[in-house]
Amino acid sequence: MTGPNTLLPGRRRAVTLRGRPELYTEYGADQALLNTPAKRRFAAVLLLVLVVVPFFLDRDLNGLLTRVFITSIGAIGLNLVTGYAGQVSLGHAFFLGLGAFTAAFLGNEPTGSLRGLGLEMWAWLPLSGLVAAAVGAMVAPLAARVRGLYLAILTLGLVFVGDHIFKEMRTFTGGPGIGRRAAAPIVGGLDLYRRQTILGVEIAGDVLYYFLCLILLLVLGVAARNLARSKTGRSFAAVRDRDIAAEVMGVPLVRTKVVAFTISSFYAGICGALLAVMYGTIVPENFGLLLSVDFLAMILIGGVATISGSIVGAAFVVLMPRLVQSLTDVLPFISRGGGGGALLSVDQLQGILFGALIVGFLVLEPRGLYGLWLRVRNYWKAWPFSY
Amino acid sequence: MDDLLTVLIRGLAQGSFYALVAAGFVVIYRATDVVNFAQPALMVMGAYFTALFRHNYDLPFWLAVLAAIAVVAMIGAVSERVALRPMVGQPPFSAAMVTVGLFLVLTIVANRLIGSNVISVGDPWGLETAVFAGNVRMRVADGWGIGLTIVAFAAVGLFLTRSRVGLAMRATSLDQEVALAQGVNVGRMFGLSWAMAGGLAGLAGMVYGSGGTGVDPTSAFVALKALPVIILGGLDSLKGAYIGGLVIGVAEAFTRANAASLSGVVGANVDVVVPYLIMLIVLMVRPYGLFGTPEVQRV
């Protein structure tokens, strides 16, 4: 457990330098993911809460939290390519769809005109990520030819072309408006979305799936964080900050971009496959441009080029509808239904808030919620001598 | 042959609509180096206000169109002042994302105003079709669309090349700081560009909704095809926007006309993605488009 890849700083330091939490004597300790006692304590408490909480929550709140975990995986993927490597991608929804439909193809038994292989989750989940990654790797060399806004427009085109492909490959996707059932998360004959008795304890399906997604998020999140501080991650940052300078310094430009796209697509594929389970039935229309915009909003609101920011942003975007809904009881001018006499319906208010938040964060705090947190933290760190 | 011409005219009309939306993109991009993703939403607004003035206030059609153009131009200018002006000096991607946020907000507002039904803009042409030169059919609305687009492009072109303000706008697009030093009110030029783009979008909304098509909030996604157009024509070229629009429109019309024979190979409704396929190819081969300025990378 040496070098920058350790999660926790070395034990020796903790003993000898008690009371001096920010004095690092080793590179490894400085680079550790949880490099201060406060971070370690906070992470432990958060993990404990997340393990306990599903047993006390309603089914729908559990589902909401699970959705947060799943979208976080997708947001981390987008943040790797857009935040860390600086390659703006509006094509994330396409890779999500790719993962979802690959999972549905691999995980379902063939029915009628729909093809299927009837595999279990341990096969379809990684494969859906890998298929998305493979397609990402194929598209990336093309995307590596253009930069900035041109790339954004190119990936936008990708979404529309992908949408067409999803709609036309009816034997795989069921076609527009009809769709197909998502793959069931069955591992070793155990359906993780149904009530199961494990070791004599009866556990509800939503709780099981909650833990599955939480574990996946932890693994993929830590992996992404480690990637970001590895040689690959530093080359991402170099390409983002100045691609020509990076190339001059010996960072292979095309290869770095291809790697970024491939890994990002892998995350998107996994996210899509898991999300499909929550949707129940998936149609090609699920994976349109607006989904891509949602994910971009997550990383913009949460914080560009931060893993924790991606998670916070995903939580924010997923939980906001619920918050807005509970606002309807307080604010008289918002109606629950579609039309109504009120000024705005819930959906409309939510959409407007969403757009306004993107604009607001970009204008006022480009580092997102993570940046806000940094401000708060730095204020209290030096309190009462803050300035 | 007659069928071919009929399809060609249909394509030119559709292309004219794309060109009008694309012109808005180009005007804003030239002035502020921002790709304005909110342009399609402004287009829907244009159609809505045309319909509003025509039906609710009973204005004559042309007056309704002019009023709608004025209102959408104002929406454009206000959006620029509120959302885009603080983004001056920020990376172009941030500004582009701000316009995406604007797009969301405007689409919701349009949703609220229009609802889920299709509104007609109240044009006097309706479903009328003219037949000429043997058996070539043309919708009257298409003819007006093609003609109005030419007039609009000519007006914008003349304004930019001949008027003092147009000169100031071109100076701004060339170099903002130098223009500022020469006494050009750069901020006002930004606002003016957005107002012009809004006006063009307003007109585009009318053109799209005329001829019995009608407009609903999802029409914004059709107008997004102006993105392939500006990529094909070049982000900063008005001429490119016009020619690119026509090329994309005609390509789409011909694919649609041959959809039956194509569907076995590439599936039905392939005409919807043809613009994007063209765009992908252009981005691979010539990213700055037919008439755009090649991007110069400084080391």
Query: Distance (Å, rounded) from C-alpha A76 to C-alpha A71?
Result: 8
3-state secondary structure of A207: helix
Contacts of A228 (CB under 8 A, 6+ apart): A80, A84, A236, A305, A307
pLDDT band, very low/low/confident/very high, at A133 (cuts 50, 70, 90) = very high
Please tell me the predicted confidence (pLDDT) of residue A2: 43
Pair A240, A329 in one domain:
no
How confident is the model at residue A262, as a pLDDT?
96
Residue range A55-109, pLDDT digits in tens = 888 888 899 999 999 999 999 999 999 999 989 899 999 999 999 999 999 998 8
Q: Is B226 on the interface with A (CB under 8 A)?
A: no
CA-to-CA separations, B47 to A138, A305, B50, B63, B208, in angstroms, rounded = 41, 40, 5, 14, 8
- Residues A239, A293 within the same domain: no
Single residue among A218, A253, A286 that ends a domain in this structure: A286
Q: What is the mean pLDDT of residues A166-186?
A: 87
- Report the alpha-carbon distance of residue B135 to residue A126 in Å, rounded: 59
- Both A172 and A265 in one domain: the answer is yes
State which residues form the domain around A335: 288-387
Nearest CA of chain A to the CA of B284: how many Å? 7
ipTM of the complex: 0.86
Q: Is residue B205 situated within a structural domain? A: yes
Provide, as residue numbers in chain A, all residues whose Cβ is less than 8 Å from the Cβ of B86.
363
A14 belongs to a structural domain: no
Mean pLDDT of the A208-232 span: 93
| A11 pLDDT higher than 60 | no
Which chain B residue's Cα is nearest to A163?
B273
pLDDT digits (tens, 9 = 90+) for A143-154: 888 888 888 889
Q: Is residue B264 part of a domain?
A: no
Q: What residues in B contact A163, CB-CB < 8 Å?
A: 273
Q: Please report which helix (H) or strand (E) contains residue A88, including its range.
A: none
Are A117 and A264 part of one and the same domain?
yes
CA distance B222 to chain A (A): 11
Q: Give the pairing of strands A190-191 and A186-187.
A: antiparallel
Are residues A91 and A229 both part of a single domain?
yes
Go through chain B and tell me how many residues it has.
299
Q: Smallest CA–CA separation between A153 and chain B, in Å?
A: 7
Q: B216 in a domain, yes or no? A: yes
Cβ of B118 under 8 Å from any chain A Cβ?
no
Per-residue pLDDT reduced to its tens digit, B197-207: 999 999 999 99
- Partners of B102 on chain A (C-beta within 8 Å) are 355, 359
Report the relative pairing of strands A334-335 and A344-345 from DSSP bridges: parallel
Residue B283 contacts A where some CB pair is shorter than 8 Å: yes
DSSP code at position A285: G
Query: SS3 for A368?
Result: helix
CB contact under 8 A, B280 and A293: no
Residues of chain B with pLDDT under 70: 264, 299
- Determine contact: A357 vs chain B, CB below 8 A: yes
Nearest-by-Cβ selection for A359 from B101, B268, B272: B101
Structural domains in chain A (count):
2
Who contacts B145 (Cβ-Cβ below 8 Å, separation ≥6)? B13, B16, B17, B207, B210, B211
Look at A355 and B93 and tell me if their CB atoms are within 8 Å. no
pLDDT above 80: residue A7 = no
**Sign of the CA dihedral with A212 first, then A213, A218, and A223 last:** positive
Interface of A with B in 325-344 (CB under 8 A): 339, 344
Q: A4, exposed or middle or buried, with CB in 10 Å at 0-12, 13-18, 19+?
A: middle
- Tell whether omega for the bond before A384 is within 30 degrees of 0, i.e. cis: yes
- A254 contact B CB<8A: no
The SS3 call for residue A196 is strand
Would an 8 Å CB–CB cutoff place B117 in contact with chain A? no
pLDDT at position A257: 94
Q: Which residue among B98, B221, B273 places its CB closest to the CB of A164? A: B273
Helix B2-32 to helix B39-51 angle, to the nearest 10 degrees? 110
Angle at B10 between CA B7 and CA B13, to 5 degrees: 150
Q: How far apart are CA A174 and CA B38, in angstroms?
A: 33
B contacts of A246 (beta carbons < 8 Å) = none
Q: Is B161 on the interface with A (CB under 8 A)?
A: no
Asked if the structure places residue B82 within a domain, the reply is yes
Q: Does residue A372 share a domain with residue A241?
A: no
Categorize the per-residue pLDDT at A341 as very low, low, confident or very high, splitting at 50, 70 and 90.
Answer: low
Residues A219 and A84 in one domain: yes
Residue of A nearest to B104 (CA): A355
pTM of the shown model: 0.89
Q: Which residues contact B5 (CB under 8 A, 6 or more apart)?
A: B133, B136
Q: Report pLDDT for B257.
A: 86
Does residue A361 sit in the same domain as residue A219? no
- Which candidate from A148, A157, A300 shows the least CB-CB separation from B276? A157
User: Among all residues of chain B, which has the CA nearest to that of A166?
Assistant: B267
B166-to-A76, B71, B170, B193, B223 alpha-carbon distances in Å? 46, 21, 6, 10, 26
* Chain B residues with beta carbon closer than 8 angstroms to that of A348: 108, 111-112
How is residue B191 written in tokens?
């606002």
For position A1, what pLDDT does the model report? 39
Asked if the C-beta of B270 comes within 8 angstroms of chain A's C-beta atoms, the answer is: yes
Residue B194 domain boundaries: 2-224
Give the number of domains in chain B: 1
Same domain for A248 and A334, yes or no, is no
pLDDT at A358 over 70: yes
Which B residues, 6 through 65, put their C-beta within 8 Å of a C-beta on chain A?
A: 35
Among candidate residues A302, A97, A258, the one with its CA nearest the CA of residue A179: A97
Based on the domain organization, do A298 and A268 belong to the same domain? Answer: no
Which chain B positions have a beta carbon within 8 Å of A297's beta carbon?
Answer: 101
Is the pLDDT at A43 greater than 60? The verdict is yes
Mean per-residue pLDDT, A292-317:
92
pLDDT digits (tens, 9 = 90+) for A189-211: 777 777 777 777 777 778 889 99
Q: Is A153 on the interface with B (CB under 8 A)?
A: yes
Q: What is the pLDDT of residues A251-290, one digit of tens each?
A: 999 999 999 999 999 999 999 999 999 998 999 988 988 8
For a pLDDT cut of 70, what percent of chain A falls above it?
91
Per-residue confidence (pLDDT) for residue B268, from 0 to 100: 73
pLDDT at B45: 92
Q: Tell me: do A317 and A360 sit in the same domain.
A: yes
Which residues on adjacent β-strands are paired with residue A180?
A: A282
How many angstroms separate the CA of residue A201 from the nearest CA in chain B? 47
Model pLDDT, residue A333: 66
A182 and A304 in a single domain? The answer is no
Of B103, B115, B287, the CB nearest to A146: B287
User: In chain A, which ranges are continuous DSSP H helix?
Assistant: 11-16, 27-31, 37-52, 59-78, 92-107, 121-143, 148-168, 170-173, 205-228, 231-241, 243-248, 253-279, 289-302, 307-327, 346-364, 368-381
Is A250 a residue whose pLDDT tops 80?
A: yes
Domain boundary among A286, A319, A354: A286
Place of tokens 């076995």: B264
> Contact, A209 vs A192, CB < 8 A?
yes
B299/A152 CB distance under 8 A:
no
Span A17-40, pLDDT tens digits: 566 767 777 887 777 888 778 888
